[in-house]
Amino acid sequence: MFELTKNEFVTKGVCKYEDECGNKVFMKRDGKTEFVAKLRPRTAGIYIDEIHMDAFDNVNGVNLSIKTDFPSQGVDEDTKKGIEGFVEIIKHWREMLAVVSHVVNSDVLDNAAKGEDNRKAFDLIRANVTMLNEYAELKPAIQKLFTFG
């Protein structure tokens, strides 16, 4: 299971993760809903091409290009675990960027600023902020801006 080890999502759009096997993942936001994902296995001699994806790409699954210096041996168990976790992080980022895009592009904030249906706008903003607070990458910034209790 990958753990978030460096969180600069809000300031630079970058996060790093590492799992218990020593596999590392680098994720970088590249536009509003696009991102780049890289997996660096701990095992030397295994190379996985980086993934460029949009949160709204209509795809099921992730196509990984895996190359090794020792093709007859295949991929070790630690790398297999890393690949499984990598795919989960990609799914997580697709979901997170879709939610961020929804919140940023919704008319809720605009309507609240215009004074239209303030109670409804407040409830929607609160729901959106609560939803954003569920993501470890966003939590520090959300908690600086809003009080949760």
Asked if residue 75 belongs to a domain, the reply is: yes
Asked if residue 20 belongs to a domain, the reply is: yes
Asked if residue 136 belongs to a domain, the reply is: no
Asked if residue 148 belongs to a domain, the reply is: no
Task: Give the pLDDT confidence of 81-112 residue by residue, as tens digits.
Answer: 999 999 999 999 999 999 888 877 766 666 66
Task: Give the pLDDT confidence of 17-60 residue by residue, as tens digits.
Answer: 999 999 999 999 998 899 999 999 999 999 999 999 999 888 77
Asked if residue 72 belongs to a domain, the reply is: yes
pLDDT attached to residue 110: 67
Burial letters 13-50, b for 16+ CB under 10 A, else e: eebbbbbebebbbebbbeeebebbbebbbebeebebee
Give the residue among 41, 17, 40, 42 at the shortest CA–CA distance from 27: 17
Neighbours of 85 (CB within 10 A): 21
Asked if residue 132 belongs to a domain, the reply is: no
Range of the domain at 75: 3-105
Asked if residue 31 belongs to a domain, the reply is: yes
**Domain tally, the chain:** 1
Bridge partners, 24 (sequence order): 18, 40
